[in-house]
A and B are shown apart, each in its own frame.
Chain A
Amino acid sequence: MDLNFEATELRLGLPGSIDDQSEIKTTNSPANTNKRSSSEMGSSISDANDTSRSAPPAKAQVVGWPPVRSYRKNQLQAGKKTESETGCGIYVKVSMDGAPYLRKVDLKMYKSYEELMKGLQTMFKCIIGLYYDRELGYNNYGSEIYKPTYEDKDGDWMLVGDVPWDMFLSSCKRLRIMKGCEDMEG
């Protein structure tokens, strides 16, 4: 926990004032007060509008504000990490025409179709082309090029690459890598 000692330093005067509203809005930190120094001992507390106050650095966090329990904070942080990491991966079966065994891949490991193809190529030691890939597109009728397809939530077999990646992630149930000699282009 980053203890912001500056924020817990003793201050005289109000923590912030109306004039500082715009700063407070952008910096998310309210402690707009002077540092206490022994030479200021005599100054009265009612000096509420001390203009020599300086704005704290932007995004300085005040200890304990907003008042969220550390237990809850830790849980929220852990939750966010799980969402962005592969904590709960999306594992789908991958079959390849002619291969004796199926494999499983975690779709969450990839951020795009291109990355997924690279991963599958490494796994199956073949060349897989997305239909819109100008170099490896299906216009090249070489039989070494494989085409990726997937089964969606409705049970239909779809060509990989049509829908946005996120939508693909949520609808893909399994993958099948088909031999390139099957003509998919009308």
Chain B
Amino acid sequence: MAYSFPDDVLEHVFSFITSDKDRNAVSLVCKSWYEIERWCRRRIFVGNCYAVSPGIVIRRFPDVRSVELKGKPHFADFNLVPDGWGGYVYPWIAEFSRAYPWLEEIRLKRMVVSDESLELISKSFKSFRVLVLSSCEGFSTDGLAAIAANCRNLRELDLRESEIEDLSGHWLSHFPDTFTSLESINMACLGSEVSFSALECLVARSPNLKTLRLNRAVPLDKLSTLLRLAPQLVEFGTGAYSAEIRPDTYSRLAEAFSCCKKLKGLSGFWDVVPSYLPAVYSVCSRLTSLNLSYSPMRSPDITKIISQCHNLQRLWVLDYIEDVGLNALALSCKDLQELRVFPSDPYVVDANVSLTEQGLVSVCKGCPKLQSVLYFCRQMSNSALFAIARNRPNLTCFRLCIIEAQAPDYLTFEPLDAGFGAIVEHCKDLRRLSLSGFLTDRVFEYIGTHANRLEMLSIAFAGDSDLGLHHVLSGCDSLRKLEIRDCPFGDKALLANVAKLETMRSLWMSSCSVSFGACKLLSQMMPRLNVEVIDEQGYSDAEADSCLVEKLYIYRTVAGPRIDMPDFIWTMDQDRAYRLRNRPSS
């Protein structure tokens, strides 16, 4: 005698379940739960836009309000993915415009977004509220103008780190005078000056504005005007923080900052004039997030600020902070959870900046809550890595980039295998790891054995042989994303671990030793994987199977091979002769 709750009771219960993983689990319980769940799922996350098609999504989830899509592989950030690779959002928007008239939120990462897509968004969804374009490209300020003009209920417009064709700053003036719902705007990546009076009026009529990230072109002497209109701001990004030194400008600015009692996050500070920095001191004690990673501020000024930020949880900064600044961070910011130190001058051997592994060790020793680290430096030692691992077993994300590729332990000249081994052994909850320095197959043995929670691994210029890759693919039970460049990993390891690839989101390998033949074989063995070879040089007809591929991107999918590939990308499921016959001449 089976009895169950009425559907709408179950639906109500499910409405409290928001995480995707939990929702997925709910949908597997039984057929009726699957049905109820799919009708009431409102938020979907697609980590690889080619893993599924818009049609499949819409058929399963008929009433979605919030969509997040990711496109290009992570290594696209570093110019390893050629232009024209894909990741076009338009087909998704086109289908959503028909199927989801009540769509409210679109969040995209590393996708190609056209002005037409933006126009379509602005006209199709009457309740549209949130648009986040993270590291996207392909659109111009004209597209933004359409969003501004038509999205009457817009709350959030975040253009973080996107590459936008900046035709003019006029787009901001397209927000109508009746538009008052803005809560968050991030235009930091735009170069053009927007009309200040338009910006001023927009801020003045947005009582719910919490996040305002200006672009470089907004001058310092105008900041106080904006802050006075929005003392309720929680996050603020300045423009160029420089102006003639004038006492009245300074005092206006300092006073404006002191009125912002809710300010928790600061960013911007391009072109700093140090004399104006004390104007922010009044907010330092409340700050939880500080992004100085685009600022030329030097160590003394950085140190003065962070020494007052006792509640700081997140710091992004350039290596101008130097070891001395990191020591101050370790002393002052006991709540620190995330640290990112970027290189001010990545392409010189000697940057004349006194930042070494000691700064990182110091922060790891001094900040008990530190979980997430991204650190660029020019020297590292196993002993430093041991110290980090022992002191911070709670690390969940450790991304280390020693700028000189394959640099060994600078004290002993040994590989850094043992040091990274200590990291994976001690940090049992490590979810993300990026390796650098001189590494042999041994480090992969450590990783395969110990890194059970690891979800994303980035490898460059490391390892000796296929054994290294085999250790990773045969271990690392939680691995979802693996990206590899310039390593001597090849066919053997890949073909010995084919089943693993279906448990992962994706695998990227470039400048490794995988052959076309192996790709073809893999493709035949695993029909639910797309095995995409990226080869801009082309390959010779003779002995094609033993030729090595330039770049390889393998991902699981229920959508079959994609149809929007440029001619330098191949899937290996087609007969070779057919492919050669039909290949467009380069």
Contacts and interface: CB of A to CB of B under 8 A. Distances in A.
Interface of A: 1, 3, 8, 10-16, 18, 21, 24-26, 28-31, 36, 38, 41, 45-46, 48, 61-73, 75-76, 79, 82-83, 87-88, 90-91, 153, 173
A28 B77 contact: no
A113 B307 CA distance: 38
Contacts of B349: 25-26, 28
Given A76-B345, A87-B271, 16 more contacts: A1-B79, A15-B487, A16-B405, A29-B405, A38-B543, A61-B347, A62-B405, A63-B78, A65-B461, A66-B376, A67-B77, A68-B376, A69-B161, A79-B271, A79-B294, A88-B242
B513 A12 contact: yes
B403 interface: yes
A15 B461 contact: yes
A18 B413 CA distance: 9
A65 B405 contact: yes
Contact of B78 (A16, A65, A87): A65
24 contacts: A14-B488, A18-B413, A21-B408, A21-B413, A24-B404, A26-B349, A30-B405, A30-B486, A38-B543, A46-B464, A48-B464, A61-B347, A62-B486, A63-B79, A64-B75, A65-B78, A69-B78, A71-B161, A71-B189, A72-B161, A79-B296, A82-B240, A88-B240, A88-B243
Interface in B486-516: 486-488, 490, 510-511, 513
Interface residues on chain B, size class: 35 or more
A109 B280 CA distance: 30
A44 to B, nearest CB: 10
Contacts of B242: 88
B542 interface: yes
Given A64-B75, A71-B163, A38 B540 contact: yes
B104 to A, nearest CB: 27
A76 B344 contact: yes
Nearest to A88: B242
7 closest Cβ pairs, A-B complex: A64-B78, A30-B405, A71-B161, A10-B548, A69-B77, A88-B242, A64-B80
B284 interface: no
B293 interface: yes
B460 A65 contact: yes
B461 A30 contact: yes
B486 to A, nearest CB: 5
Interface of B: 75, 77-80, 135, 161-163, 189, 240, 242-245, 270-271, 273, 293-294, 296, 342-349, 376, 401, 403-408, 413, 434, 438, 458, 460-461, 464-466, 485-488, 490, 510-511, 513, 540, 542-543, 546-548, 550
Nearest to B485: A64
Nearest to B465: A46
Given A15-B461, A88-B242, A67 B78 contact: yes
A18 B78 CA distance: 26
A117 to B, nearest CB: 22
A72 to B, nearest CB: 7
Contacts of B294: 72, 75-76, 79
A11 B489 CA distance: 12
Contacts of A29: 405
Contacts of B461: 15-16, 30, 65
Nearest to B294: A75
A48 B244 CA distance: 59
A65 B347 CA distance: 9
A82 B418 CA distance: 43
Nearest to A30: B405
B346 A68 contact: yes
Contacts of A88: 240, 242-243, 271, 273
B548 A70 contact: no
Contact of B404 (A28, A31, A48, A173): A28
A123 B237 CA distance: 40
Contacts of A30: 404-406, 461, 486
A30 B461 CA distance: 8
A99 to B, nearest CB: 22
Contacts of B540: 38
B51 to A, nearest CB: 24
Most buried by A among B79, B80, B135, B490: B79
A38 B542 CA distance: 9
A13 B135 CA distance: 34
A148 to B, nearest CB: 20
Given A24-B405, A66-B343, A87-B271, A15 B486 contact: yes
